[in-house]
């Protein structure tokens, strides 16, 4: 607490790492690549979960739970899927430890599994193997299921929330009678994700589709939302996949359609993860700490008493009690920090670091004047306000802050979409300004790969409803019918 | 659906297995010992989670998340813990698969972990290793944390919900400055569990402590709640452990107390799991299917239209719409089943199987008379009631059903506590009547073990506030100061 954060300008990456740990969001665990999500960080994730879960249910989905382990052979059934996922994974090979006689705990070689189990990196295979038993006819469709779970992808270079070996996520897996319905579902869930990012996280996103190269392993189409961080790097915040009949064919899931004919089922999957925490932190926070949008802030208002004696402390406490009751009645989460072990200045810094949207200080002069000092975390403005009607004002202020945080992120994002028409400009913008670069591309994987190797920029997406525009690929000069969005990305 | 369930009298175990799968609660997965929790079953678990989570938060706890994997060496640090847990477990030994050149996916031997990772069977070790970095002084205490997670204990003989290799649970892990505070916490959480079992699950429980033999591996005291199933077998529904300083010593977690002296921290842990689903099912259900207490029923009221023509269907639909709005305003979950692909009788059987507490049927005569037919799932009573004030009546009825289900289970439980004073009677009661048997025991592990081997009955608990009573051990005749509760158990 005493030492400030590294500034974003000095070292953005260091700033992020320090912020995540100092604001008590998460820390590295004793297990390589796995994080501990601390209570304050987890309470933000819980708010995200609650909002998303409601959105999923409002769109007709139910939750279920599938096994953590997937038999190795399942991965071989969908050819492109195994390439994408079965490589870097945690493999369970034994089911028992034993004492070796010298008081060492060792793996019991007698307890070797006949078939190794993979800790799920994603659950398409085990779920579609299960769906085979659940789907017989069109009456069983659509099947709209979501799972909240932990998954593991062995990562060599990890960063808290952004890339960890184990992470928490939700994965939707739906089954449909027609291709069109499945495509509509994939698009619907992309809209849900975009809605959540914008209206809860206050993070503007570009909705688009991935190039074949960047598609989910096993998908015919991958939809994504792409966000822009304050260092000009993009972050993929959520994906939704149209899987065609790939998994239904791999796991032999057929249904009888209305005409009485057998056909393979059509599929989607879609997911967001604790990676969203990284996006939330990086999109809004500043050199003093977290800036949280009120809708996801575990504490929306904190009240700090500033008193000279027990009498003042008591009077302020009474005012706080009444205000807390009013705020709680409005569904606003509020904390009264009456610790006598810390000075107000220490508390102010702590709540700044933790991104509490509104801080209220009540002191001796406020007692006389019937006022309170209101400080906004987003703009750092302070104002003395009357205590009359304060709860209503705070309610409005939280809405205003939510909107302002979004507007600020939107402005930054919009200022960081740069159209270029030459490879030189492309590289210059990436190095000097960063952000999204909108450029013509010839549509080939070769050119995409060359650009990635030479500049570390990838095609983030082909935006939905992208305007058509005749142009020439910035690298090969070949004709192109539309611009696509490039960026260096997390 | 068409075939009825095996009756409880014919084969209780078979009845349970059929009920779990036919009522769409869960099924076995392709992974040995792991279950799939289906949407209907999961929605009950979600209601349990929501109620428990609120109770945990109301008692000052926060949620957090710790790694799925635990380094093997961590288990060796607490001697009795490793005996209890590190044996039957899933061991991760490698972190990569590869293609062997013949299109087989095989484990990459070059990717062997230096230290094996255990998939958590419980998280004391990884959590106390983490707490070392979080606790410095008494100001950091108490630390009151809960985790919702999946855990794995390799089981050879599995049963859906009751004993599965992977299960879902919550595990609370708290740290305290004094032994007394830790004991109070363990007792507080036992009360929370008992409250939940009785007031939400409608399952009466005996609160007690375990004998040393049955204690959690690493605990100084294990508190438990024990429930009674309809076959006279007991089921341990939740445990809360006073861990003393065992884990603090094993992981070197010390704090500076108010006097400025270093001391090891005092600990508790406590958990309930998806096993509660098994208890819920077995405590109340009957030969027609599930009987769910309204507070945990995903659908509390179902409305089935019975119509001869489109006009009647429309009129009933209008009545249903109005009633649904009223019920929803009261927070009652209601489903209108207007499927035209199934006959009313089929629907009635389906909702009986699924344990929906109240079924409403509205037919042509009801249209004329301003009535509806209300059927209770618990008593199977049907009554024709006026539609005026129906929502209020249903609200009261749901409360009444909740209470009735509890009363019925309580009566059964109370009728199945039998005091005996000889080993002969003990064995006879176990075989002929089952239930809890209250008997004197000499307090030795040897006698406890002998009884277990000879009768398969274990000491379920020494009830809290157990009356003192001089007596003689039913096996050895040695003096005993109190009766304890034995039973055969799940």
Which B positions 210-239 lie with beta carbon below 8 A of chain A? none
Test mutation, A92, A102, A148, chain B, max B CBs within 10 A: A92
CB contact under 8 A, A27 and B75: no
Query: pLDDT tens string for chain A (490 positions)?
Result: 446 899 999 999 999 999 999 999 999 999 999 999 999 999 999 999 999 999 999 999 999 999 999 999 998 887 777 777 767 899 999 999 998 888 788 999 999 999 999 999 999 999 999 999 999 999 999 999 999 999 999 988 899 999 999 999 999 999 999 999 999 999 999 999 999 999 999 999 999 999 999 999 889 999 999 999 999 999 999 999 999 999 999 999 999 999 999 999 999 999 999 999 999 999 999 999 999 999 999 999 999 999 999 999 999 999 999 999 999 999 999 999 999 989 999 999 999 999 999 999 999 999 999 999 999 999 999 999 999 999 999 999 999 999 999 999 999 999 999 999 999 999 999 999 999 999 999 999 999 999 999 999 999 999 999 999 999 999 999 999 999 999 999 9
In a domain, B7, yes or no: no
DSSP string for residues in A322-358: HHHHHHHHTT--EEE---SSS-HHHHHHHHHHTT-SE
- Check pLDDT > 80 for residue B366: yes
Q: Is A175 in CB contact (< 8 Å) with chain B? A: no
> Looking at residue A103, what is its pLDDT?
78
Q: Residue B270 pLDDT more than 80?
A: yes
Q: Which two tokens stand for residue B343?
A: 């006959």
Contact assessment for residue B143 and residue B62, using Cβ atoms and an 8 Å cutoff: no
Q: Is the same domain home to A321 and A446? A: no
Q: Are residues A427 and A402 in the same domain?
A: no
Residue A139 lies in a domain: yes
Looking at the structure, do residues A183 and A331 belong to the same domain, yes or no?
A: no
Sheet holding B371-376, edge to edge: B334-336, B301-305, B358-362, B371-376, B382-386
A465 in the same domain as A360: no
How close does chain A come to B151, measured CA to CA in Å? 9
In this complex, which of B29, B98, B139 lies closest to A341 when CB atoms are compared?
B139
Judged against a pLDDT cut of 70, whether residue B23 lies above it is answered with yes
Strand order in the sheet with B234-244: B62-63, B143-152, B166-176, B266-273, B234-244, B221-228, B206-209, B458-463, B483-487, B436-440, B417-419
pLDDT of B110: 94
User: Given the DSSP bridges, would you call strands B234-244 and B254-256 parallel, antiparallel or unpaired?
Assistant: unpaired
Across chain B, mean pLDDT equals 96
Q: What pLDDT shows up at residue B2?
A: 47
DSSP letter for B31, please.
S
Q: Inspect the interface and report whether the beta carbons of B97 and A87 lie closer than 8 Å.
A: yes
% pLDDT > 70, chain B: 99
- CA A324, CA B58: separation in Å to the nearest integer? 17
Q: Does A95 touch chain B (CB under 8 A)?
A: yes
Indicate whether A234 and A348 sit together in one domain: no
The pLDDT-based confidence of B86 (bands split at 50, 70, 90) is: low
A337 located within any domain: yes
- Looking at residue A2, its pLDDT comes to 47
Which two tokens mark B273? 């799991």
Predicted pLDDT at B87: 75
What residue in A sits closest to B79 (Cα-Cα)?
Answer: A103
Which of A44, A48, A68 should be substituted to probe chain B, the one whose Cβ sees the most B Cβ atoms within 10 Å?
Answer: A68
Q: Is A39 on the interface with B (CB under 8 A)?
A: yes
Domain closes at, from A391, A412, A433? A412
Q: What is the pLDDT of residue A156?
A: 80
User: Mean pLDDT throughout B105-126?
Assistant: 95
Residues of chain A contacting B70 with CB distance shorter than 8 Å:
31
Is B177 domain-assigned? yes
Neighbouring C-alpha atoms within 13 Å toward the C-beta of B210: 23
B188 and B254 share one domain: yes
How far apart CA B141 and CA B73 sit, in angstroms, is 27
Asked if B224 and B241 count as a contact pair (C-beta separation under 8 A), the reply is no
For B245-317, where are the E strands, in sequence order?
Answer: 254-256, 262-264, 266-273, 301-305
Q: Is residue B90 part of a domain?
A: no
Q: What is the pTM of this model?
A: 0.97
Supply the pLDDT for residue A312.
96
- The residue among B309, B68, B167 whose CA lies nearest residue A90 is B68
d(CA B116, CA A106): 9
Indicate whether A234 and A279 sit together in one domain: yes
At A86 the pLDDT is 63
CB contact under 8 A, A168 and B105: no
Whether residue B224 is found in the same domain as residue B335: no
Cross-chain residue pair A82–B93, CB shorter than 8 Å: no
Chain segment B343-354, per-residue pLDDT in tens: 999 999 999 999
Query: Could you say which of A378, A393, A412 is where a domain stops?
Result: A412
Clarify whether residues A165 and A264 are in a common domain.
Answer: yes
Instruction: Report the pLDDT averaged over residues B446-465.
Output: 98
Which of B377, B393, B409 is a domain's end point? B393
Residues 423-482 of B with CB under 8 A from A: none
Beta strands at A35-37 and B105-107: parallel, antiparallel or unpaired: unpaired
> Does B260 score more than 50 pLDDT?
yes
Verify that B327 and B248 share a domain, yes or no.
no
Q: What is the CATH number of the domain that holds B197?
A: 3.30.930.10
Structural domain range at position A469: 417-487
* CATH code assigned at B450: 3.30.110.30
| Test mutation, A32, A63, A95, A252, chain B, max B CBs within 10 A | A95
What CATH number does the domain containing B369 carry?
3.40.50.800
Same domain, A341 and A481: no
Instruction: Tell me if chain B has a CB within 8 Å of the CB of A119.
Output: yes
Burial class (CB in 10 A: 0-12, 13-18, 19+), A468: exposed
Residue B113 lies in a domain: no
> Is a pLDDT exceeding 50 seen at residue B166?
yes
What band does B489 get if pLDDT is binned at 50, 70 and 90?
A: very high
Of B38, B71, B116, nearest to A64 by CB-CB distance is B38
Q: If DSSP states are collapsed to H, E and C, what string results for A62-107?
A: EECECCCEEEHHHHCCCHHHHHHHCCEEEEEEEEEEEECCCCCEEE
Give the total number of structural domains in chain A. 3
Residues of chain B with Cβ-Cβ distance to A169 below 8 Å are none
3-class DSSP state for residue B25?
Answer: coil
Examine residue B194 and state whether it is found in any structural domain, yes or no.
Answer: yes
Is residue A20 domain-shared with residue A165, that is, in the same domain? yes
Is residue B242 assigned to a domain?
yes
């Amino acid at each position: 607490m005493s030492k400030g954060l590294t500034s974003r300008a000095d070292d953005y990456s260091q700033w992020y790492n320090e912020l995540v740990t100092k604001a008590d969001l998460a820390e590295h665990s004793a297990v390589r690549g796995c994080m501990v999500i601390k209570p304050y960080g987890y309470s933000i994730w819980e708010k995200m979960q609650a909002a998303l879960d409601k959105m999923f249910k409002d769109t007709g989905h139910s939750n279920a739970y599938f096994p953590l382990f997937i038999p190795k052979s399942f991965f071989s059934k969908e050819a492109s899927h195994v390439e994408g996922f079965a490589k870097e994974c945690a493999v369970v090979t034994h089911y028992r430890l034993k004492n070796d006689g010298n008081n060492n705990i060792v793996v019991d070689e007698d307890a070797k599994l006949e078939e190794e189990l993979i800790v799920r990196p994603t659950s398409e295979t085990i779920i579609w193997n299960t769906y085979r038993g659940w789907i017989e006819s069109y009456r069983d469709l659509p099947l709209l299921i979501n799972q909240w779970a932990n998954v593991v992808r062995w990562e060599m270079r990890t960063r808290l929330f952004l890339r960890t070996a184990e992470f928490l996520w939700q994965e939707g897996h739906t089954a449909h009678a027609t291709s069109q319905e499945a495509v509509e579902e994939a698009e619907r869930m992309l809209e849900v994700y975009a809605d959540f990012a914008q209206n809860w996280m206050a993070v503007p996103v570009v909705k688009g589709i991935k190039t074949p190269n960047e598609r989910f392993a096993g998908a015919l189409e991958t939809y994504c939302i792409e966000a822009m961080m304050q260092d000009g790097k993009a972050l993929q915040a959520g994906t939704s996949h149209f899987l065609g009949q790939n998994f239904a064919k791999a796991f032999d899931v057929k249904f009888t359609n209305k005409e009485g004919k057998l056909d393979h089922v059509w599929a989607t999957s879609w997911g967001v993860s604790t990676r969203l925490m990284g996006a939330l932190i990086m999109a809004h926070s500043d050199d003093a700490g977290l800036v949280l949008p009120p809708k996801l802030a575990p504490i929306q208002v904190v009240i700090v008493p500033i008193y000279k004696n027990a009498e003042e402390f008591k009077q302020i406490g009474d005012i706080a009690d009444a205000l807390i009751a009013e705020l709680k009645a409005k569904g606003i989460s509020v904390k009264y920090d009456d610790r006598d072990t810390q000075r107000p200045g220490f508390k102010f810094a702590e709540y700044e670091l933790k991104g509490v949207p509104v801080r209220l200080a009540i002191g001796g002069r406020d007692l006389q004047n019937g006022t309170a000092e209101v400080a906004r975390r987003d703009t750092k403005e302070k104002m003395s306000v009357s205590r009359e009607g304060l709860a209503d004002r705070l309610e409005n202020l939280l809405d205003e802050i939510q909107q302002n945080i979004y507007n600020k992120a939107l402005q930054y994002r919009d200022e960081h979409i740069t159209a270029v028409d030459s490879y030189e400009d492309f590289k210059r913008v990436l190095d000097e300004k960063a952000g999204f670069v909108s450029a013509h591309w010839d549509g080939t994987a070769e050119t995409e790969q060359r650009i990635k190797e030479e500049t570390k920029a990838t095609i983030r997406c082909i935006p939905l409803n992208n305007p058509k525009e005749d142009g020439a690929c910035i690298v090969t000069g070949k004709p192109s019918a539309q611009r696509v969005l490039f960026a260096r990305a997390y």
